[in-house]
Amino acid sequence: MRSVTSCSKTLIRSDWRRFWPLTFLYAFVSFFIMPVGIWNEGGYTYYANGVMSEAEILANRAYSMASHVYGTLTAFTIINLFLGVGLAMVLFGYLMKSNSVGLMHALPVSRTRQFLAHFGAGMSMLTAANLLTFVLSLLMEGLIGVVDVLPLLIWLLVTELVGFFFLAFGALCAMATGWLLAVPVIYFGLNFVVMAYHLLFDAVTALLWPGHHSVTNPGGAVEWMTPVAKLVNVLGDRHDLGEETYRKGATLFTVNPKALPTLLIYALAGVALLAFAWVLYRARHSESAGDAIVFPWLRPVVKYVISIAAGIALGFFVHEVVFGGGQNVIGLIICQMIMGGIVFCGVEMLLRKSYKIFDRRTLLGLAALWLALIAVCVCIRLDITGRERRVPTAAQVESVSIGGGGIVGVDTDDLKAIGAVTDLHRLVVKQSEPIYAHTTYINMTYYLRSGEIMSRGYWVNLDDQDQYQAYTELLNCETVRRRLLIDEYDRYGSQFNYGYVTNFMDDENLRLTPGQCLALYRALGRDMERRVTPEMLEHEIPELEIVLDTDQGEYRICRLRPDCTDTLELLERYGLTIPEESYEDKW
């Protein structure tokens, strides 16, 4: 080879020649998701012959195709998650074999140029596949007769940035190990380690704190540290991109202002990961091929991260099996210490490549691990951070979801309702676990402005005057009181086609005319304006369902109570027989 530059080009050509099947597979899948999907969307349009003009039909097709393009972004995020580690494994696989790494490092080219050549080959293969998909999609739109370049350009930008991030992440993981099969383990472990630890701590917290509810997707910093979850959530959030907004020029980035900044942040993070991978590549010894973890300073980190997580998870499982759950802190700690110690010894054997590990260093490591596991359980049980009794202020809450106690899934961003929930929450956390004759259970999930999700559930003591009053005030917030009876009153207007009432207890069905539907709808409106008490929610009339149909949708009411007097009197006037047993224990 005549120069370093020619050697770098030779490495890139060699990577293309050897690893093109992986990129071809990605392009093959992309072809069916994008061009074929666009063809299907463009050829299937909802319209009635003779009603829609040719221009409206073309506009409808354009929206359908654009919606499909934006809808594929979450799928391509997941595909690039796997492609990133796949490319990293094949491009840097030579580092895992002594003969291969010795040959590569003997070439007349610096390590920096080698690293950039391999990474550049991966990005060029990814970009070539994306450009091919872009061109084929554009040609497909041309065949349909509706060409909209902007959604395709946004798709190309998103897939390039996401692909770059995950490939840089994969390259970093490849630098840390000398085992090829360890690369995907480290890669997926780092991608989900923060979320995994959150879920583990959340499970222990839910066991030791009676009012705490686990949250699968907590949002906030945890979501940011789980790239695929954050990207899927942000890129999939396009609810405001309707046909009307699309025709006015709306795109994914305009209806979702968080999408582009999120992508740019992860792209910058990808640059940082790539720079760190380059530093590790230069510092990596060729003789480390075949080592599970090639850097001595990284081995303790890997050992304790795996052992603590496995100890908590497996210990929690054994505790559930042996002790049947419950708030047995000592039993939980013992189970976690045993399982964590077993995993610790297994990881130590892998790192040392020997079964002879029981020496002073291992015993000190086990002691440190056990202290960490004990500290986790004790700190959670004692609530040293105050998280168990934390009550957010109304100003910190963007929206709240409440349920239980006769409240069926009420979601609201009404400030008065949010204030009523936090007031009740503040009173309830002051009590110990109540054992009273008159209680009701309520679950509250806060969606905070910081992006965090916080869920709690408590027994409200209705014998306590303050809690009773606070719960009553919550029930009588307008948005809550209305949804106790009917979801989103006025959502579909009051132009009714027909309706029916079904009494499943007596298998009785009553058909309603449009006029009867309107009268019943107004009666429901009067009933939902009456003040509600907690006792009223305990006596819903079972097996009774009302459906009122409009052109825009249908109202469905299945939570009638005996205090809905206007509605019940009207139903009886229409001829529906309401069984007397429905009124048992009437408030």
Per-residue tokens: 483: 């949804």
Amino acid (one-letter) located at 240: D
Contact by Cβ (8 Å): 510, 501: yes
- Using a 10 angstrom Cβ sphere, with 0-12 exposed, 13-18 middle and 19 or more buried, the burial of residue 148 is middle
According to DSSP, the β-strands at 453-461 and 439-448 are antiparallel
Task: Answer yes or no: is pLDDT of 3 > 70.
Answer: no
User: In a 3-state reduction of DSSP, which class is residue 516?
Assistant: helix
Non-local CB neighbours of 574 within 8 Å, separated by 6+ positions: 501, 510, 512, 516
Contact by Cβ (8 Å): 382, 327: no
* Phi, psi angle pair for 47, to nearest 5°: -160, 160
For 117-169, how does the pLDDT look when each residue is reduced to its tens digit (9 = 90+)? 999 999 999 999 999 999 999 999 888 888 889 999 999 999 999 999 999 99
For 306-353, how does the pLDDT look when each residue is reduced to its tens digit (9 = 90+)? 999 999 999 989 988 887 766 778 888 999 999 999 999 999 998 888
For 516-552, how does the pLDDT look when each residue is reduced to its tens digit (9 = 90+)? 888 988 888 888 888 888 888 777 776 778 888 888 8
557 beta partners? 546
- Please, which pLDDT band fits residue 587 given cuts at 50, 70 and 90? very low
Contact by Cβ (8 Å): 486, 522: no
User: In a 3-state reduction of DSSP, which class is residue 547?
Assistant: strand
Query: How many whole angstroms separate alpha carbon 424 and alpha carbon 435?
Result: 18
pLDDT for 586 equals 40
Query: How many whole angstroms separate alpha carbon 88 and alpha carbon 465?
Result: 64
Give me the percent of the chain exceeding a pLDDT of 70: 92
Amino acid (one-letter) located at 565: T
Q: Which one, of 190, 153, 341, lies nearest residue 182 by Cα? A: 190
Contact by Cβ (8 Å): 171, 285: no
Question: Mean pLDDT in the chain?
Answer: 86
pLDDT for 1 equals 42
For 76-121, how does the pLDDT look when each residue is reduced to its tens digit (9 = 90+)? 999 999 999 999 999 999 998 888 887 887 777 888 889 999 999 9
407 beta partners? 404
pLDDT for 290 equals 81
Q: What is the DSSP letter of 13?
A: H
Residue keyed to tokens 């060729």:
286
**What's the gap between Cα 445 and its chain centre?**
15
Q: What is the DSSP letter of 212?
A: B
Helix H or strand E segment including 28: helix 4-33
Give me the percent of the chain exceeding a pLDDT of 90: 40
For 187-197, how does the pLDDT look when each residue is reduced to its tens digit (9 = 90+)? 999 999 999 99
For 211-249, how does the pLDDT look when each residue is reduced to its tens digit (9 = 90+)? 777 676 777 788 899 999 999 999 988 877 887 788 888
- Please, which pLDDT band fits residue 49 given cuts at 50, 70 and 90? very low
Compute how many other C-beta atoms are within 10 angstroms of the C-beta atom of residue 307.
26
What would you report as the CA-atom Rg of the chain, rounded to the nearest whole angstrom?
Answer: 31
For 263-320, how does the pLDDT look when each residue is reduced to its tens digit (9 = 90+)? 999 999 999 999 999 999 999 988 888 888 999 999 999 999 999 999 999 998 998 8
pLDDT for 118 equals 93
- Using a 10 angstrom Cβ sphere, with 0-12 exposed, 13-18 middle and 19 or more buried, the burial of residue 537 is buried
Q: Decide which of 487 and 574 is more confident.
A: 574
pLDDT for 585 equals 45
pLDDT for 40 equals 86
Task: Answer yes or no: is pLDDT of 50 > 60.
Answer: no
- Please, which pLDDT band fits residue 584 given cuts at 50, 70 and 90? very low
pLDDT for 61 equals 84
Contact by Cβ (8 Å): 435, 392: no
Query: How many whole angstroms separate alpha carbon 468 and alpha carbon 473?
Result: 9
Find the Cα–Cα–Cα–Cα dihedral 98, 100, 105, 109, rounded to 10°: -170
Task: Answer yes or no: is pLDDT of 437 > 50.
Answer: yes
pLDDT for 44 equals 59
Helix H or strand E segment including 429: none
- Please, which pLDDT band fits residue 45 given cuts at 50, 70 and 90? low
- Please, which pLDDT band fits residue 4 given cuts at 50, 70 and 90? low
- Please, which pLDDT band fits residue 27 given cuts at 50, 70 and 90? very high
Task: Answer yes or no: is pLDDT of 393 > 60.
Answer: yes
Non-local CB neighbours of 139 within 8 Å, separated by 6+ positions: 35
